[in-house]
Amino acid sequence: MPGCSRYSGELTEESLRSGDKSLELEEIRQDGPLPVTEADATLPTSQVPSDVANWDAERLSPGWELVAILCVCALAGVVGTHIRILLEDAFNYEGLHIMRKWDCLFQDLPANMIGCFFMGIVGVTCKAQIAKYSELIALGLTTGLMGSITTYASFNQDMAQLFVAGRWEKALFGIILGLELPFVSLLVGINAGQSLVWFWSCFQKRRRVAIRITPDNLKRRKAVAWTAAVLWLGFLLPLNIVIAAFKWGDVGKHIQAIAACISPLGVWLRWYLSRYNGGFMKGSPYAWIPWGTLAANVLASMCLTLDKMGDVQITSHVWSVWLMALGKGVMGGLSTVSTFMVEILKLAEGGSSGKAYAYIAVSLILTQICAFILYGIPVWVEQFPRAFPGHESHNDVP
């Protein structure tokens, strides 16, 4: 059959539609939809497991399908950016004072942990059920929301600044915490998701009622797409523009509003790059590397490094506000820790612990080298005062 891989037995379109259980699918279809989540793109390009995607579901036309995906990702990305910045404020500065600048407990550690916890629920344990109901909702929750709550670029830059400032021990310990705690949070989230599924199953048995999930369909896709478009374009975007334009609240709220407005740019680029996970360098020994996520994290880290490099040099408050909004919005939306952790878990569970550690090492080495070249060397040569502890930057606002 055109567009399909090798199957065990005679498999036809009619047998697929009739639900013939006697035939086993050895490999997944080659003409499936775009990845439901970034983590699914560790399989061959633009494919997801058969238990996640409903291949026979009605779909929008290619153009409108793309518009629907962009709207869903944008809405979820804006919400995720707001949550991340609110968590920063809650744990830093005027909040609980747990996370501090120039310390191994970097500002986005709580956001990375919380995002990975919920990624374990919606992106691993309950992914198949959510995607069966609506692939767009699954995409929004994982790529959009959890991907924007967590950020790799900020973690990398904070550790690089500690290295440059001579606080090597804090930087090394911060790297360990920045990797271990989100990974543990992911595992706890997976267990929590399994518990929720078990409790829900018990509830249905006790009530003697079976609530079945109807497969995704054209009507539902349209409803999800229109809802996302109205909430994003009709409510959140105008609200953030008004707050940014009229500077309501303190400077922190101003930065948050600008960051939320531009965050979809990073989310869209990350979604696009995720299509290269597992499909880039196909047939080579390095095809297992999630190149899309790696490229997104490296690119976001490089851009944030340049952003910070500009901040330590400029004296304009206006430019400083825009640089911080750019870092929190676009670079925060482009990089991700939640998908990074899921990919590490998949590699480890697939019997490739060595590949999992290699993926971690390559990511850290590449991003730290970029930070060293673009930030460390200029700072050491020019000795910019604001690049060292005790000299607060314009961007250090609550």
The answer to the question of residue 393 being in a domain is no
Pick 225 or 395 by higher pLDDT: 225
- In a domain? residue 211: yes
Assigned domain for 396 exists: no
Q: Mind spelling out the 3-state secondary structure of the chain?
A: CCCCCCCECCCCHHHHHHCCCCCECCCCCCCCCCCCCCHHHHCCCCCCCCCCCCCCCCCCCHHHHHHHHHHHHHHHHHHHHHHHHHHHHHHECCCCCCECCCCCCCCCHHHHHHHHHHHHHHHHHCHHHHHHHCHHHHHHHHHHHHHHHCCHHHHHHHHHHHHHCCCHHHHHHHHHHHHHHHHHHHHHHHHHHHHHHHHHHHHHHHHCCCCCCCCCCHHHHHHHHHHHHHHHHHHHHHHHHHHHHHCCCCHHHHHHHHHHHHHHHHHHHHHHHHCCCCCCCCCCCCCCCCHHHHHHHHHHHHHHHHHHHHHCCCCCHHHHHHHHHHHHHHHHHHCCCHHHHHHHHHHHHCCCHHHHHHHHHHHHHHHHHHHHHHHHHHHHHHCCHHHCCCCCCCCCCC
Residue 284: predicted pLDDT? 81
* Helix, strand, coil share (%) of the chain residues, nearest 5: 70, 0, 30
- pTM higher than the cut 0.95: no
Q: What's the structural domain count of the chain?
A: 1
Q: How far apart are CA 253 and CA 251, in angstroms?
A: 5
| Residue numbers of the domain that contains 144 | 58-387
Residue 378 covered by a domain: yes
Let me know if residue 360 belongs to a domain.
Answer: yes
- Give 311-323 pLDDT, tens digit per residue: 888 877 888 889 9
- Mean pLDDT, rounded, for 119-140: 94
| pLDDT > 80? residue 394 | no
Residue 231, domain member (yes or no): yes
Question: Does 142 fall in a domain?
Answer: yes
Query: Do 319 and 325 touch, CB atoms closer than 8 A?
Result: no
Residue 192 has pLDDT above 60, yes or no: yes
* Mean pLDDT score across all residues of the chain: 82
Could you tell me which residue, 210 or 367, shows the higher pLDDT? 367
Q: Please report whether residue 51 resides in a domain.
A: no
